[in-house]
Structure 1
C-alpha cells in the first residue's frame, strides 16, 4: 500500500486555489473547527473535472452518517451532468459500510480517478458490535482501500 499522505486545511481559507494536491496515495484530510464535507466535495469534483474534461472520469463516494449528505456536492457542481460521474454509496451500519467499501474497490476501473471514504471509522466506532469485531472490520475496510 502506498504511504498515507496527510493534508490539513484551515477553516480560514476557501476557494479552489486552497485545495490540496492529491497523488495516488491514501489521503487524510483534516479541517480544524469546520465541516469537512464541502472541502471533500470540492476535491472530489476537482479531481473528476481535471482528470477527464471530456466526461470519461468518475469518482466513487462511500459515505456514512452525516457524510452521506450530498447537498454541498450538488451546490458546487458546475453543471448537473457532472454529478452523473460521481457514484455514491451510503452505509448506515458497519456491515453495510464494509460491504460498500469492498464493492467500490472491486468496481474501480480505468475511468475511476478517486474513491472517497470520509469518516471511515465512524460506522465501526458507533456500532453495536463487540470492540474487537468492530476493530477487525475497520482494519479489513482499510486494507481494501
Structure 2
C-alpha cells in the first residue's frame, strides 16, 4: 500500500470513530493536547476528557491554547483507581450531550495495571469500557481519542477496539503523523531540525486559529474534578 505524504502546518483531522494515538516517548504529551485544542478550533463544540495518570496538564493547555476560551470547553474528570476510572466511563453517556464534539481518554489502560486486580479482570473491565466509548462515538457520531501506556496483552484489546491508529514520531523536519496509509509532516522547514517545544506547538495552533478567524490571546488553565465528583 502506498503512503500519501502531506506537508502541512495543520494537524491531522479527527474523524468520528475510535482513534488510537501512539506518541514517540521523546515528544511527551504535547501532541495529544495539541490535537485536542486543534479539534476545538473553529467549532462551538466541547471536549470531554476522562483522565488517568495525570495526562491532562493544566500548564500544557495554558501554553498551547491560542485563547483562554478554549480551555472552558474542556470538561475534565479524573479517575485515580481502576474502579473510579471505570465508573467515570460508565457515566460517559450521561456526560456527553449535543455540544460534545470530542471524547479523550488518554492512558486508558494505565490504571488497570495494578496488583489489586488480576490481569483477566483488568482486561474484562477495560473491554467493557472500550465498548462504552465505541458506543458513544457511534451514537453521537464524534471522535474518541485514546492513548495507551504499553503495548502488551492488556493493551492489545485497545488496538482491537480502535477503528483507526495514528502514530506520532519525531523527525528533523518536524512531527510526523502516520496512519491508514496517510502521512502528515507538520510544519516542515527547508533546512529541517525543527525543535518540537511547547512554543512550536503553540505556533502551529496560532496559525490554525488565524486561518479560521479565531482570536489569539494568552490562555488560562482549565478546571478539573476528580473521580468522586461531577463534571
Fold match, TM over 0.5? Answer: yes
In the alignment, which residue of structure 2 is the partner of 1:135?
Answer: 123
Shift of 1:104: 2.7
5+ unaligned residues in a row in structure 2: which ranges? 1-7, 134-231
Aligned length: 127
Task: Indicate how the Cα distance of structure 1 residues 127 and 77 shifts in structure 2: closer, same or farther if over 3 A, else same.
Answer: farther
In the alignment, which residue of structure 2 is the partner of 1:117?
Answer: 105
5+ unaligned residues in a row in structure 1: which ranges? 1-15
Shift of 1:137: 0.6
In the alignment, which residue of structure 2 is the partner of 1:68?
Answer: 56
Matches within 5 A, 1:93-108: 93-108=81-96
Comparing 63-72 with 78-87, greater Cα deviation is found at 63-72
Deviation sequence 1:67-125 (CA, Å, 0-9, x none): 13332112111222221110001111101111112223332111101000011011112
Comparing 87-96 with 73-82, greater Cα deviation is found at 73-82
Instruction: Say if 2:40 is the partner of 1:48.
Output: yes
Decide which structure has the larger Cα Rg and report it. Answer: 2
Q: Runs in 1 of length 4+ with deviation above 3 angstroms?
A: none
Partner Cα separation in structure 2 for residue 138 and residue 127 of structure 1? 15
TM-score (norm: length of structure 2): 0.51
Partner Cα separation in structure 2 for residue 62 and residue 17 of structure 1? 28
Task: Indicate how the Cα distance of structure 1 residues 30 and 82 shifts in structure 2: closer, same or farther if over 3 A, else same.
Answer: same
Task: Indicate how the Cα distance of structure 1 residues 86 and 127 shifts in structure 2: closer, same or farther if over 3 A, else same.
Answer: farther
Structure with a larger share of its residues in strand: 2
Task: Indicate how the Cα distance of structure 1 residues 36 and 28 shifts in structure 2: closer, same or farther if over 3 A, else same.
Answer: farther
Structure with a larger share of its residues in helix: 1
Of structures 1 and 2, the one with the larger relative CO (CA 8 A, separation 6+) is 2
TM-score (norm: length of structure 1): 0.78
Shift of 1:51: 2.4
Task: Indicate how the Cα distance of structure 1 residues 82 and 127 shifts in structure 2: closer, same or farther if over 3 A, else same.
Answer: farther
Shift of 1:20: 1.6
